[in-house]
Every structure is written in structure tokens, then in C-alpha cells.
Copies of this chain bind each other. A is one copy, B any other.
Amino acid sequence: MARRKQAVTIKHVAAEAGVSLQTVSRVINNEASVRPEMKVRVQSAIDKLGYVPSIAAQRMSGSRSYIILALNDRDRTIADWRARQGTDWVDQMLLGGMLSCAENGYRLIIELVDTHNDHVERELAAAIAALQPDGVILTPPHSDNPLITGLLAKRQIPFARIGSRSTGDGIALTMDDEGAAQQATQHLLALGHRSIGFIAGPADYQLSGWRGHGRSRDEHGRPACHG
């Protein structure tokens, strides 16, 4: 199997438009300092060639990875899957988060993690090292796992905690509706557009209790989302 290279690269676009790689890059990243006419010229070249930047390359050059990591409890996920009753996690959160990501040019990658295992940190660290996500989303029972939130905080990776009310690092939001994940993702995206984490998990932990309160607010009377 031949080594697969990118079909059309930024280089081709630059040649086609008769500008430097940098200018193309600037257009891609929608930077201000580009003359409108240049922008148009480059853009048309991009369209003509059907160019799409490689996220791997983008990430390699120190830019964003355009990847959001979502952590989900493994055992539970597998059990649900076997029982074919996994109407839980995916439909409520992952899909919502996925849609938000897609709308923003991001990709959501779901990672299954063993909670009741002291490997959690290692697993998380490995996933982060491999994927280098711009953000992470946590779901129960990971949302309040200090080992996880601590690691994320230390690495300065933006993350959201779904189904958690406790204050602390990261954005905490209760699942007051099916839009929670979407909300979470967008918050992360809005934050710094970098390192967003998402740990998705079954909603029958602390979460379930709050659910009875319906669309209630948090203890401060504000919508269920703390900064």
C-alpha cells in the first residue's frame, strides 16, 4: 500500500493563486490582515482545487487539532450495548455535541474509559497525548472525578462537566434538557477554541436526582451553567 499523501495541499493553492503559502494559510484561518481582493483570489483557488486543510498538519504546526474528546464510561457503555438499550448517552449528549462540533468545523471523538479503575489518569493522559484535543467533555461518573478534572486543569485543557453541579475547574452544567451536550460543546468552542473535553456517561448518577427538578436553576438562581 503506497504511502498516502495529501492530494492537494496548501502549496498547490498558493501556486494556483500566485501567492505565498502564508497568505493561503491566512485566508484559511480567516485572519484579518489580507486584502479583500487577495482573499477572493485565494478563496477561488481553494474552491477550484477543492482544497481542504489536513487537521493533522494543522495540529503539527502548533495550531488547533479541531478535535473534541468525549469521555464515556466503558463498562456501562458496553453493557448497554449488549442489552441493546443504550438509548441513553449517545442520543442525548453525544449527538448533540457532535452536531455542535460539526457546525464549527470540529470533530467529536468518543473515548471509553474505565472509571472504577485507577488507570483513569493514564488512559486520559494517553488519549490526550494521542489526540491532542482542543477540549474535553466529561459526563458522569467522570464529571466529578478529581483525578480527571485535576489532570485537565493542570494541562490547561478547557473542559465541560456534564451532570455536575460542584464548582471547580472547567464548566459545569446540568443536563436540564437534551440540549445540554450541545450547550456544553458550544461553550467549550466559545471559550478559547482550544482543548475542549467531554466526558459523557450514563445519566443515572447524581444527575438523576436533579432531573426531577426539571428545568430548574442552580443554587444561585442562574441557568444551570457556571463558568
In the assembled complex, which residues on chain B have CB atoms less than 8 Å from the CB atom of A62?
Answer: 3-5
Any B CB within 8 A of the CB of A120: no
In the assembled complex, which residues on chain B have CB atoms less than 8 Å from the CB atom of A66?
Answer: 130
Interface window among A19-27, A121-129, A159-167, A213-221: A121-129
Any B CB within 8 A of the CB of A185: no
- A91 close to B87 (CB less than 8 A): yes
Bound-state Cα–Cα, A129 to B50, Å? 10
A74 to chain B, nearest CB (A): 8
Any B CB within 8 A of the CB of A16: no
A122 to chain B, nearest CB (A): 7
In the assembled complex, which residues on chain B have CB atoms less than 8 Å from the CB atom of A129?
Answer: 6-8, 50-54
A81 to chain B, nearest CB (A): 4
Q: What interface size band does chain A fall in?
A: 35 or more
Bound-state Cα–Cα, A5 to B131, Å? 12
- A4 close to B110 (CB less than 8 A): no
In the assembled complex, which residues on chain B have CB atoms less than 8 Å from the CB atom of A109?
Answer: 107-109
Of the residues B84, B102, B110, B178, contact of A91 by C-beta under 8 Å: B84
> For the complex formed by this chain, how many copies does it contain in all?
2
Of the residues B7, B57, B65, B78, contact of A60 by C-beta under 8 Å: B57
- B91 close to A80 (CB less than 8 A): yes
Any B CB within 8 A of the CB of A150: no
In the assembled complex, which residues on chain B have CB atoms less than 8 Å from the CB atom of A81?
Answer: 91, 95-96, 99, 178
A86-B90, A87-B87, A178-B84 known; A52+B130 contact, CB < 8 A: yes
Across the A-B interface, the 8 shortest Cβ-Cβ residue pairs: A52-B129, A90-B90, A86-B91, A56-B59, A56-B56, A3-B62, A81-B95, A52-B126
A to B CB contacts below 8 Å, 26 in the list: A2-B156, A4-B62, A6-B132, A7-B129, A8-B129, A50-B129, A51-B129, A52-B126, A55-B131, A56-B57, A56-B132, A60-B60, A77-B95, A78-B95, A84-B87, A84-B92, A85-B87, A85-B91, A86-B90, A86-B91, A87-B87, A90-B90, A90-B91, A90-B95, A108-B109, A109-B109
